[in-house]
Structure 1
Amino acid sequence: MGNFDHLAKTHPCLGGEAHFKYGRIHLPVSPSCNIQCKFCRRGFNKSEVRPGVSSLLLTPEQAVETVKKALTLCPEISVVGIAGPGDTLATDHALETFRLVKKEFPHLINCLSTNGLRLAEKAEKIVEAGVETITVTVNAIDPKIQKDICSFVIDGDGKRLEGEEGAKILIDAQLRGIKKISELGVIVKINSVLIPGVNDKHIKEIAKVTKELGASILNIIPLIPQNELSHLEAPSCIMLDKCRGEAGEYLDVFRHCKHCRADACGVPGKNQDIHGQLYDKEVVETFSHG
């Protein structure tokens, strides 16, 4: 496992300088999710630039071929990331893909994004698959706040948990997972969606607690008002800067996020996306083993 300073020089989602020099490819291999955030609306289309969106699903085998093609189109790619369109740990597709990618392209950095519900449970398998950096989306560490952000959680037995009960299960799992994966040597970034009137005064607490558990950097993502939170307004630049300043007292803050799609590819700081060249046909594909 590399250290944070080293990885930040070549990982465009960890370091500001790398953001303008190096590329990443997001492989859309994870079809389903085990929680429902109130701001999240997963979908398949060609136009929206936001997380949870892809134009297709790839099998792990197709994903490897896609990386091969992407490297010919964009040699600056240094990171293979999996961030959806569902949760990467809700099924085994992401870890299977990483194992194949690591074998074929050992020089690339493997990066996984997750809601953290199954992070502690799968920590060893994540390391075995060759994952070096992980992003955990933590929007609250207080169940009273989390219940207003997450509609429900599906536990390991398939039971749907709502309200504070579900919120507590999620938070406990996230915090245990962050601590465990950090201790195993994986670099941890925290993503927090900034939701005005809900968690804007709470982001600094997330930074403080996750830093103590081993996180290296925080990315505060402005809310895109949609789904159950479509009635809210996006945070102002003033609110975003204030939250970044408060959180930055505890944890380094990443300031270059582009709200990337689950099938994004290219150098993000240059607004270069080779998606259209990468996929010959813009169709939604599904696969059976999931």
Structure 2
Amino acid sequence: MRDPACEEITREHPCYSKAAARWFGRVHLPVAPDCNIKCRYCTRLYDCANENRPGVTSRLMTPGEALQYVKRVVERDGRIRVVGVAGPGEPLANKATMHTLQLVHHRFPELIKCISTNGLLLTGSLPALREAGVRAVTVTVNAVSPAVGSRIYDYVSYRGQVYKGTAGAELLWRAQHAGIRLARELGMVVKVNSVLIPGVNDVHLEEVARAVKAAGAHVMNIIPLIPQGKFAGLLPPPPERVNLLRQKLSPIIEQMTHCRRCRADAAGLLT
């Protein structure tokens, strides 16, 4: 069944289409330092100019600075089609995210607005995101089983309370599932990122793929673990293992194979 909303975005969004990645670029705006979840593979040391990984930026920007930055990037590179907020923390846990998206959408309504989130606050944020022009949403879903999730997340902070163990993981997946479904109902295109953690969720990712597809996700991006934080002692999965898993899951949900694990201040073509 054709989905015109998906087709329109994937034609020019480099993260949703390998063909689009050859011709069109994106710019990430690092305006969101705070986070409401502690993932065991994450380190909050984001001020680094030499690492190419999610959650890293050379510096933070204010919404006003971000708008000026977009103006400069678009003037310099006519291939830019997407403006997104992907960190360095959780975008929806930072008021600056919505302000930034509103400013950019007012000045550049023709650009695709995108957000990358852990999904905890997604449902309640979707009306405002839609008003700010957001049409593409990426949700990081590493587990749909509370038992597996409890091995990935140290805690989940929600509405003034801290949830640990299976309670936190269950709360998170429930919020993610509801957010993905509502985003699709509102006409947005949803990509799911899943970090492949050997010995933790590698076997479980097939269940994740089925669950997020059923919720309405359009594409899945399996990201091999970068060993750091409490998972610093693990070995990253080799490329051939990642590719085999993508092949296995591709009949369930379309797989992204050209991810560059972008920084929170990335700009230009993925290549």
Could you tell me which of 250, 261, 269 is aligned with 1:248? 250
Residue 201 of structure 1 aligns to which amino acid in structure 2? V
In 2, Cα distance between equivalents of 1:103 and 1:238? 44
Mapping 1:99-114, distance limit 5 Å: 99-114=102-117
The aligned counterpart of 1:53 is: 56
- Displacement of 1:241 in angstroms is 1.7
Partner SS state of residue 23, structure 2: coil
Name 1:5's counterpart in structure 2.
7
Q: How many Å apart are 1:238 and its aligned residue?
A: 2.7
1:228 alignment partner in structure 2: 230
Quote the offset at 1:246 in angstroms.
2.2
Distance apart, 1:2 and its partner CA? 6.0
Deviations 1:191-239 (A, max 9, x none): 0001111111111111111111111000100100011001111011232
- Residue 65 of structure 1 is aligned with which of 53, 64, 68? 68
Whether the 8 Å CA contact 1:49–1:261 is kept in 2: the answer is yes
Q: Which amino acid aligns with 1:38?
A: R
Q: List runs of 5+ in structure 1 lacking aligned partners.
A: 270-290
Q: CA deviation at 1:162?
A: 1.0
Q: Does 1:121 align with 2:124?
A: yes
* In structure 1, C-alpha distance between the alignment counterparts of 2:200 and 2:244, rounded to whole Å: 15
Counterpart in 2 of 1:277? none
Residue 93 of structure 2 aligns to a residue whose secondary structure is coil
Scaled by the length of structure 1, the TM-score of the pair is 0.90
**Residue 16, structure 1, aligned to residue 40, structure 2:** no
CA offset digits 1:78-128 (Å, max 9, x no partner): 000110001010122111111111110011100000000001121211111
Q: Pick from 199, 202, 224 the counterpart of residue 201 of structure 2.
A: 199
Aligned CA-pair RMSD: 1.2
- Which blocks of at least 5 consecutive residues in structure 2 are unaligned? none
Partner of 1:162: 164
Which of 79, 85, 91 is the matching residue for 2:82? 79
Alpha carbons 1:201, 1:243 under 8 Å: kept: no
Distance (whole Å) between structure 1 residues aligned to residue 4 and residue 28 of structure 2? 21
Q: Are 1:49 and 1:259, in contact at CA under 8 Å, matched by a contact in 2?
A: yes
Matched, 1:44 2:47: yes
Please state if 1:174 is matched with 2:176: yes
Superposed displacement of residue 64, structure 1: 0.7
Answer whether contact 1:137 1:192 (CA < 8 A) is retained.
Answer: yes
CA contact (8 A) 1:116 1:174 kept: yes
Secondary structure in structure 2 of the residue aligned to 1:80:
strand
Alpha-carbon separation, structure 1, partners of 2:89 and 2:153: 15
Q: What percent of counterpart residues are identical?
A: 43
- Corresponding residue number in structure 2 for 1:237: 239
What is the DSSP-based 3-state SS (H/G/I as helix, E as strand, rest coil) of the residue aligned with 1:132? strand
User: What is the distance in 2 between the residues matched to 1:267 and 1:74?
Assistant: 10
**For the residues of structure 2 that align with 1:107 and 1:244, how far apart are their CA atoms?**
33
Alignment of structure 1 residues 262-277 onto 2, 5 Å = 262-269=264-271
Q: How far apart are 1:182 and its partner, in Å?
A: 1.1
Instruction: Find the aligned partners of 1:241 and 1:264 in 2 and give their Cα distance.
Output: 24
State how far apart, in whole Å, the 1-side matches of 2:223 and 2:266 are.
17
Alignment equivalent of 2:30, drawn from 28, 51, 64: 28
Q: Give the superposition deviation at 1:59.
A: 1.0
